Chains A and B, each alone.
Chain A
């Protein structure tokens, strides 16, 4: 088997072996291979000398540059915080009104706010802050717990029905499921509630009668939270029922479902996850966006 032969194309000898027709040339290894093997090995050697590299016993070679990735990270975090301190300290110390009056600070709010909102709030309230089913639209003047900067900041801090000890707590009762109202009463009060934002709802006498009957039901059952005029009460998180904005939907079936089965929304507390400065920026970003509309 070991008969070397010369490959006519390349001129190199074969190794003399053959496997099912496959032969191999005895071509010497190209110089470039040795060159790059040595070059990469030398680079590695240099890198090992400079950087943390080889373990021994309980330690490792630290490298002559003394570089440590943990120190670099801690240091760069300190530096970044120092760079931002020019405005973070001012936002932390100033009142909402003062910040709103300061164009330079409001520029920071407009620059930073969208990222904070996008990374923390958009998942529920939507990238455009216009809300989703079950999650309020934040671009309107209709605020469950008050729309002043202080109230918004507090809602962000403690959340709604959250685990925070100071959490805002509210619940829409399940009037139908828990037997507080009978079905006809619910249908009437639904008609009444919808008429508050749809003046033209009463197209015929049947509907008008239902709205009138619903008015009484409302006064006896709903007004304690939503107010006698249905305009809501931010101190208990009761929504305004007379405007065009609905958290779960204002069509007949959805309003019926809300009255029948109740609602209890949830917003997490952000006190542990976002710094005070971040929460202030988010608050001002929302107020600013609303004003821009």
Chain B
């Protein structure tokens, strides 16, 4: 990894890491009476680990100049491995908190093990740890190939990748020791937020530099989405996290916004995190891996354009549907609801574009679990966006809001769409990246697929039932005009569904563990006894593909 850096880049890496270590030292010293001190120590450890890695390889020979004729795939490889580690952590903690809801006494009387601290560990690990690393890894992979340009340098992709993971570590470890700014999906405190801004701007610049070096006349759709993801997430992150720290020696900060403005900013952020992190980024993934794996052209370029601009324009307005029937002025709710409804059209156009791209390749969907992951992801994307627009309608929301229906909706998206498209993309990339003929075991991919699908369905069905039962119980009145159920009655009624949900989550986790094993064996290059399935090939170098070459690889 370090051997790929030029001498100058190794020196720059040392400077950055020393600077990072000094920042950690300042945090540790200034915050020695505060959780900030612990995070200072964590930053120092990260910086030292990086320094040791760079120093150990510092005198290695300079990288071969011929590397410039090849794509730079080290960051993608590392990113995929890190993403798989995060997904196991995130799903494990997710299932843990699911069982915690079944049996609330499972906390060992420890503060760190309470639901309120573990739940953000789950959400951050899966969304930012797994999703974020997968997006960074695949975006490097996709942008080089669709631009036919190597990443402009060797250091900044690694800086983006590792810097981003330092942020994730600060976030997750912070929750356990009680550091949070209490904004859902934006829990990390000010210093972690500032660090992420630095990392993210580097990411944006890196992306733009690669695009600027492209040898293709046009920018492929996947890159539009990845770029929208990077640009909008930067904007959301900065605005929602505007805050004033108690002092430079304290982890705690106070938001610049208060009351309903704070709520609106938070859900403008929160919903667009769904839109641009969990949707746009993964649509970028889908637009590359699905057609390549299927060996089919995208169904309609025009539909791509309509979907892209529809999604980017409409999503921005939709956040206020999280605040129906609250102190938020009704006109803001109206806008949130109507734009959410219009949003359904471009969302379904995207799902349709993906599914119709498979026309002519459905036999592959049948035989190839990797492609089936992507197909099912597109189906869940359609289902979830329909459900989302439906739940944004005020009267529907009055039933669904605050219930488990929301949890079911989120997981239909997170498990069914985000995780499935990611697993599909990872299974497609791993053999290409590590130069293997195929995955170690296609049968294990198949097993993972069915476990993931079953787990998702069990989870989502359980939460649909639970949410609707809960919502109806909350609003049932008896003859005397009082509520028919106490809150506790509704909690007791949830119990069987919570068990089902935890079982569904467990199936999904087992699937991911099988995936890890399969990926690990593929990386190690262990030959499999199973018969080979012909896999796709992706170019290794930005050498021009001869025009007119039969590039829709049929596979058979």
Contacts and interface: CB of A to CB of B under 8 A. Distances in A.
A51 B334 contact: yes
Contacts of A69: 325, 330, 333
A149 interface: no
Nearest to B217: A1
A22 interface: yes
Given A51-B330, A108-B480, A118-B489, A19 B220 contact: yes
Given A17-B216, A24-B304, A61-B331, A40 B359 contact: no
B248 interface: no
B145 interface: yes
A84 B486 contact: no
A115 B485 CA distance: 6
Contact of A112 (B221, B334, B482, B489): B482
A25 B128 CA distance: 34
Interface string B277-297: 000000000001001100011
Interface stretch (B189-197, B200-208, B342-350): B342-350
B318 to A, nearest CB: 12
Interface in B501-556: 538-539, 545, 547-548, 551-553
Nearest to B335: A53
Interface stretch (A41-49, A197-205, A206-214): A41-49
Given A20-B292, A52-B334, A53-B335, A25 B300 contact: yes
A33 B341 CA distance: 14
B297 to A, nearest CB: 4
A37 interface: yes
A27 B548 contact: no
A192 B276 CA distance: 72
A122 interface: yes
A80 interface: yes
B301 interface: yes
Contacts of B338: 43-44, 47-48, 53
Majority-rule SS of A interface residues: mixed
A127 to B, nearest CB: 6
B291 A22 contact: yes
A44 B339 contact: yes
Given A27-B299, A60-B331, A20 B146 contact: yes
A24 B353 CA distance: 11
A252 interface: no
A29 B302 contact: yes
B486 A122 contact: yes
B552 A21 contact: yes
Contacts, number: 164
A119 B486 contact: yes
B323 to A, nearest CB: 12
A111 interface: yes
Contacts of B303: 27, 29-30, 33
Contacts of A67: 330
Given A24-B298, A52-B334, A33 B480 contact: no
B306 A29 contact: yes
A22 B292 contact: yes
Contacts of B483: 115
Given A111-B479, A119-B487, A23 B300 contact: no
Contacts of A87: 480
A18 interface: yes
Contacts of B548: 3, 5
A57 interface: no
Contact of A23 (B297, B342, B348, B487): B297
Among A22, A33, A55, A60: residue with most chain B CB under 10 A: A22
Contacts of B297: 7, 14, 22-25
A3 B547 contact: yes
Given A83-B481, A112-B482, A22 B339 contact: no
Interface string B109-151: 0000000000000000000000000000000000001101000
Interface residues of B, number: 61
A40 B330 contact: no
Nearest to B477: A80
Contacts of B489: 118
A99 to B, nearest CB: 14
A26 interface: yes
A24 B301 contact: yes
Given A22-B146, A33-B306, A115 B359 contact: no
Contacts of B545: 18, 20-21
Contacts of A118: 486-489
A48 B359 contact: no
A165 B465 CA distance: 47
B291 A43 contact: no
B480 A112 contact: yes
Contacts of B485: 115
A27 B341 contact: no
Contacts of B339: 44
Contacts of A5: 548
A27 B352 CA distance: 13
B312 to A, nearest CB: 15
A5 to B, nearest CB: 8
A58 interface: no
A253 interface: no
A34 B220 CA distance: 24
B360 interface: yes
A17 B218 contact: yes
B488 A122 contact: yes
Contacts of B547: 1, 3, 18
A166 interface: no
Contact of A43 (B306, B341, B359, B482): B341
Interface of A: 1-3, 5, 7, 9-10, 14-15, 17-30, 33, 36-37, 40-41, 43-44, 47-48, 51-55, 60-61, 67-69, 80, 83-84, 87, 107-108, 111-112, 114-115, 117-119, 122, 127
19 contacts: A9-B296, A18-B547, A23-B551, A23-B552, A24-B221, A24-B304, A25-B297, A27-B300, A30-B352, A33-B303, A37-B310, A37-B342, A40-B345, A41-B342, A44-B341, A54-B331, A60-B331, A111-B482, A118-B488
Closest 5 CB pairs of A and B: A118-B486, A9-B360, A27-B300, A44-B338, A24-B301
